[in-house]
Structure 1
Amino acid sequence: MYIDVIKKYQPINEQEAVDKAAILAFINRNSDCLSRDNMIAHLTTSAIVVNMDLTKVVFAYHLIYKAWAWVGGHNDNDDDCLNVAIKEAKEETGLKNIEPYLNTPIMIDIIKVQNHIKHGKYIPDHLHLNLTYLLVADENEELKIKEDENSGVKWFALEDMINITSEERMKPIYQKAFDFVNKLRNNRK
């Protein structure tokens, strides 16, 4: 299922075209690409969760990165990436009613992850072969912290988010997502 999703994805720029080709090549050579047991690289799924008006985005303050960031996570052998995006978004924000804005990914990226300690275990540098989905939720629904992953969950004005996140390496990825959302919102008018 995930292979077809990646194959059908239409890259929006050269970076995505190169990343898509590299991800497909990696998948073809690594049967364990859906599992974090592959310590070189593995498939992950992220979500940009927006409000109904497409003017706000919910981000979590991640403990590992010590930064406001999108939600998402490891596929852990689940080949349904959209399901992973929704599940992770619900777990990390406490939101119960999250729906896909689109059923297809809006971005594809290879993201380098620095070594870190998680649950007392050393995790080496590795790559996340990442698909990103656009999800929508009610901004008035209660947010909840997931204490083992984040220390805050909050809605931000979309235009402010780039200046709030402190992960420089992620800013171009987030900007690509926000540009996509802004284009959708402008097309609604």
Structure 2
Amino acid sequence: MKNFIQKTIGFVVAPALLLSFSACDQSDVSPEANLSTQNADAAHQTNSMNLNKTYTVELMELNGSGVHGMAHIELMGNEIEVSLEAAGLTPEMEHMQHIHGFIENNRNAVCPPMSADTNGDGLISLAEGVPFYGPVLVALDPYPTADATGMVDFMNQYTIARAARSLQNNVIVMHGMYVDGVYDPTIPVACGQIKVANQGK
């Protein structure tokens, strides 16, 4: 009988000890730690959502080109989809197009005024525009060829670096027109500031 009682006590005590150890393990995780983890998860989800944005661009003529158009950009994480329509371009010629901007110091790129024409030839060259709109960040290739009426209808997707994702600081520049009877593929013919259309989906 004594042995039976000892065995019975052993069976009761063992589960109790396991429950006690389990409770100690759970109490080691503070409420503050749990809250911190929850906040980190929520912040990660918010940041992921904020990477999805829509932008619009109104393209205005440069150098008296008569070029005008609109562009839309969808940012999805590190991918962008660019759709662009423009008119007034040199017919049946290829037109380079880029996202220009400055990576350092979050400096805003802008479309150059006519005062950018430092050599006084009446035209803003690619180099003369760089201090205003910065270097090329994303080449929007393959570059389109305007149709017989001088129009382009373009769409493509690109992977972009993290440094280039502040798109609202940048501009789109289109290039290419005849100068003194010779086609200059580099001369800027249209420019537009990239503007946020929404703040995230």
- The TM-score range, normalised by the shorter chain, is under 0.3
TM-score with structure 1 length normalisation? Answer: 0.27
Larger Rg: 2
TM-score with structure 2 length normalisation? Answer: 0.26
